[in-house]
Amino acid sequence: MKREIIITADGSATIHIPEWNEQYHSKHGAIQEAYHVFIKHGLQHICLKPNQSLSILEIGFGTGLNALITLLEAEKLQIKINYVGVEGYPVNSQEVEKLNYASQLKSNINLFRELHNIAWEEAHQLTPYFSLQKQNKFFKEIKDKDSFNLIYFDAFGARVQPELWTESIFKKMHHALKNEGVLVTYSAKGSVRRAMQAVGFSVEKLPGPPGKREMLRATKL
């Protein structure tokens, strides 16, 4: 499918898919949304002490924005993160060059390029606090058990990919999490909340990022 780079309301880029009229992030601000949903209500919620180590699974590595802000946050919080990003349709190097996250976040462009250039399937220690393994596969192939403290569930919306917001996918997410593990997502749909509850998650509605009233956080008890 055709992909175009556009600029969102906070000045950060995202990818637009004309055929679906769908974006990788909110048009109200890609960085703002990523920070609010995944860092504030995900990482900062579960990680309270320095020197902790955590494992994170990202559903949809895409532009690498969530990985970059998590890498930067790991340095700030002084926690060690093992990050696994699953992606079925990787971005290409021309797209990476048009994504302005390093300059918007006042970070090193070479670090952002490295996130994208490292080999798939192997873990790479990119900073003392952040190791990244990218897995090129489809979400339905995920078979991890009791492996992650946190899941960033960042699939395209249920309007365009309803099959990714079902009990069968959330069952995989529940298996992949350790006990007391947490999944965060920008979606607040009632059908999504009910699918999460049906597979055993305890689900909270939280205030959403700019332009969105609510989001969901699900905990494996």
Ligand X SMILES: C[S@@+](CC[C@H](N)C(=O)[O-])C[C@H]1O[C@@H](n2cnc3c(N)ncnc32)[C@H](O)[C@@H]1O
Report, in Å, the least distance between residue 152 CB and ligand X: 7
Q: What per-residue string of b and e applies to 149-180 under the rule 16 or more CB within 10 Å gives b?
A: bbbbbbbbbbeeeeebbeeebbebbbbbbeee
Q: Does 65 bind ligand X (CB under 6 A)?
A: yes
For the chain, report the end-to-end CA distance as a whole number of angstroms. Answer: 39
List 129, 139, 148, 170, residue binding ligand X (CB under 6 A)? 139
88 is a contact residue toward ligand X (CB under 6 A): yes
Q: By three-state DSSP, how is residue 207 classified?
A: strand
Q: Which of residues 33-62 bind ligand X (CB under 6 A)?
A: 60-62
For 18, 68, 88, 112, 141, the CA distances from 71, given in Å and listed in that order, are 30, 5, 22, 10, 26
Structure tokens at 114: 């490295």
Region of 100-108, 155-163, 169-177, 208-216 interacting with ligand X (CB under 6 A):
155-163
Minimum distance between the CB of residue 25 and ligand X, rounded to whole angstroms? 6
Q: Given the complex with ligand X, which of 52 and 157 has the nearer CB atom?
A: 157
Q: CB of residue 109 vs ligand X: minimum separation in angstroms?
A: 17
Closest to ligand X by CB, 52 vs 171, is 171
CB of 51 to ligand X, least distance (A): 27
Q: Is the dihedral of CA 153, 157, 158, 164 positive or negative?
A: negative
Nearest Cα to Cα of residue 71 among 33, 107, 30, 99: 107
Q: Which stretch binds ligand X (CB under 6 A): 81-89, 125-133, 169-177, 206-214?
A: 81-89
Establish how many alpha carbons lie within 13 A of residue 23's alpha carbon, considering only the half-sphere containing its beta carbon: 15
For ligand X, the closer CB: 52 or 158: 158
Helix (H) / strand (E) element for 86: namely: strand 80-87
What is the nearest approach in angstroms of ligand X to the Cβ of residue 221?
26
Binding flag, residue 87, ligand X (CB under 6 A): yes
* Interface residue with ligand X, options 32, 33, 154, 165 (CB under 6 A): 154
* The one among 66, 70, 82, 135 contacting ligand X by CB under 6 A: 66
Cβ pair 207, 200 in contact under 8 A: no
Binding site for ligand X (CB under 6 A): 24, 60-63, 65-66, 86-89, 138-139, 154-156, 161
